[in-house]
Structure 1
Amino acid sequence: MSLTGKKIVIIGGTSGIGFAVAEQAAAAGADVVVASSNQGRVDAATKRLGAPAEGRCLNVADGNAIAAFFEQVGEFDHLVYTAGESLLIKPLVDTTPQEARAVFERRFWGAFLSAKYAAPRLRDGGSITFSSGVLAIRPLSGTALTAGITGGIEALSRALAVELAPLRVNVIQPGVIRTELWDGSVPDPEAFLQGAGSELLTRRVGTAEEAAAAYLFVLANAYVTGTTLAIDGGAALV
């Protein structure tokens, strides 16, 4: 159940939930590698994490870049995929094919290819943990694309848990979490977070640290696989 000495790769680990996962994994004694498409965020994250954390720039929309990234990383123990820019909240009729494809490439195709190239390099007892979202089961108007992708990620996780066994594959399904993700997704992030939180059973939205704890649980517990773990403040019930 210990993560001490384990090598954990976190794609999307330079901000938001991904960075919180990196912080908690490092605090638990793991060696972390964070990856992001923005070199400035990579540098800032590795500085905050401190040694022996590593950071690498990676464009998850580029399959060749993903393959090269894992070749450079070599053998490791756990993969966490939290990559994804701001959510696309837009009516279907107004969504261009180019916009849809760009979101799909980052959130689904990047996750799929990361699993493909990571799996052969994962050590015994290793795992892959994807990220979905409460929209997979409680979609809102204007979120058809994101709901479809998150639902697809959950199905992908279950299928890979069967195909790659005994390698473990899980997915974390966050609800509304207070991170910078919302800065580019809604016009007034603070008003949105306050309003969303008031409707939850917890009467508040979650924190990145609370969400990260769920990732560490499925990384460390060797008997958890094929599972979707919701961290949503009760959003599925209201």
Structure 2
Amino acid sequence: MKTMGNSNAYSLEGKKVVLLGGTSGLGLATAVAAANEGALVVVVSGTREKVDEALAVLPENSAGFVADLGDELQVAALFEKTGEFDHLVFTAGDALLFGELPGLDIDKAKQSIHLRFWGAIMAAKHGAPLIRKGGSITLTTGALGRRPRKGTAVVAGMASAIEGLTRALAIDLAPIRVNAVCAGTVRTNLLKHLCEADREDFFEQVGKKLLTGRVGDAENLAEAYLYLMRGAFTTGQILVVDGGSLLV
């Protein structure tokens, strides 16, 4: 009788995972989850302070680097330091820009898109040559790309672009697998500009409308990133984790 193959092929134990934007929010939650499964994690952020804070909660064998992920020279230099690895996760991003078109600041809109979209392209360009056989790249997008709301033109456009980028990179970089996590409303630091009371009220109001009855936590999304890293037969896919927002 044939065996079903080596189950260790789907394990992250001993794998090296590089997380760009891995010092907070979805990135840090994914770094912690991967480390708990025995992966060696490397986190990257734009400031030493954030890197040190992340390393303080990660295992001692973890590593961290500082780089401006919107600067191609720094991205290229970063991957010279990381060396070969197995999985690349891109969750980096500045605060999202909302606002209706008549009052839209185009320069701020370009800045908002630069890191999330062009940063992802630069990461793929310079990181892919170092990814070992069986490895993957996982990008990050949002549900607003599939169901925009009033005042979300920049965010929705960017999210849709990342979905297209994911599918195109899956073709260009094969056999490296390229996928993306499409996140709904999640408790992260992206709404840190709001006071705690306003932030909690927002999460409560949104959560009431979702099929799950609550917004997501970073740990919920981390499971999606881990699945896509393990999923040896999954590529070019967008995994939606949104609490059912696309259905209501």
TM range, normalised to the smaller chain? over 0.9
1-structure distance, mates of 2:46, 2:233: 33
Instruction: Say yes or no: does 1:62 pair with 2:71.
Output: yes
Q: TM-score, normalised by structure 2?
A: 0.93
Instruction: Say yes or no: does 1:84 pair with 2:93.
Output: yes
1:185, distance to aligned residue in structure 2 (A): 6.5
Residue aligning to 1:231: 241
Cα deviations by residue, 1:119-163 (Å, 9 ceiling, x for unpaired): 111000010000000011011111111111111001000011111
Q: 1:146 to 1:186 in 2, by over 3 A?
A: farther
2-structure distance, mates of 1:185, 1:7: 36
Q: TM-score, normalised by structure 1?
A: 0.97
Residue in structure 2 matching 1:126, options 131, 135, 139: 135
Residue aligning to 2:202: 192
Task: Please list every run of at least 4 consecutive aligned residues from structure 1 whose deviation after the TM superposition is greater than 3 angstroms.
Answer: none
Question: Which residue identity lines up with residue 199 of structure 1 in the other structure?
Answer: K
2:55–2:63 CA contact under 8 A, matched in 1: yes
2-structure distance, mates of 1:233, 1:180: 19
Instruction: Say yes or no: does 1:141 pair with 2:141.
Output: no
Residue aligning to 2:5: none
Instruction: Say yes or no: does 1:48 pair with 2:53.
Output: no
Choose 1 or 2 for highest CA Rg.
2
1:221, distance to aligned residue in structure 2 (A): 1.4
Please give the secondary structure, in 2, of the residue aligned with 1:13.
coil
1:51, distance to aligned residue in structure 2 (A): 1.0
Residue aligning to 1:103: 112
| Unmatched 5+ stretches in structure 1 | none
1:97, distance to aligned residue in structure 2 (A): 2.2
1:81, distance to aligned residue in structure 2 (A): 0.3
Q: 1:180 to 1:156 in 2, by over 3 A?
A: same
Question: Which residue identity lines up with residue 228 of structure 2 in the other structure?
Answer: V
The percentage of aligned residue pairs carrying the same residue is 47
2-structure distance, mates of 1:194, 1:39: 34
Question: Which residue identity lines up with residue 163 of structure 1 in the other structure?
Answer: D
Residue in structure 2 matching 1:204, options 206, 214, 220: 214
Please give the secondary structure, in 2, of the residue aligned with 1:10.
strand
Please give the secondary structure, in 2, of the residue aligned with 1:48.
coil
1:161–1:225 CA contact under 8 A, matched in 2: yes
2-structure distance, mates of 1:124, 1:226: 17
2-structure distance, mates of 1:81, 1:92: 28
Q: 1:91 to 1:186 in 2, by over 3 A?
A: farther
1:34–1:56 CA contact under 8 A, matched in 2: yes
1:60–1:105 CA contact under 8 A, matched in 2: no
1-structure distance, mates of 2:21, 2:95: 12
Instruction: Say yes or no: does 1:94 pair with 2:90.
Output: no
1:88–1:185 CA contact under 8 A, matched in 2: no
2:30–2:222 CA contact under 8 A, matched in 1: yes
Question: Which residue identity lines up with residue 72 of structure 1 in the other structure?
Answer: K
Question: Which residue identity lines up with residue 182 of structure 1 in the other structure?
Answer: L
2-structure distance, mates of 1:147, 1:8: 28
Please give the secondary structure, in 2, of the residue aligned with 1:184.
coil
Residue aligning to 1:2: 11
Residue aligning to 1:17: 26
| Unmatched 5+ stretches in structure 2 | 1-9
Cα deviations by residue, 1:12-56 (Å, 9 ceiling, x for unpaired): 110011100000000010000001112211100011113111111
Q: Report how many residues are paired.
A: 238
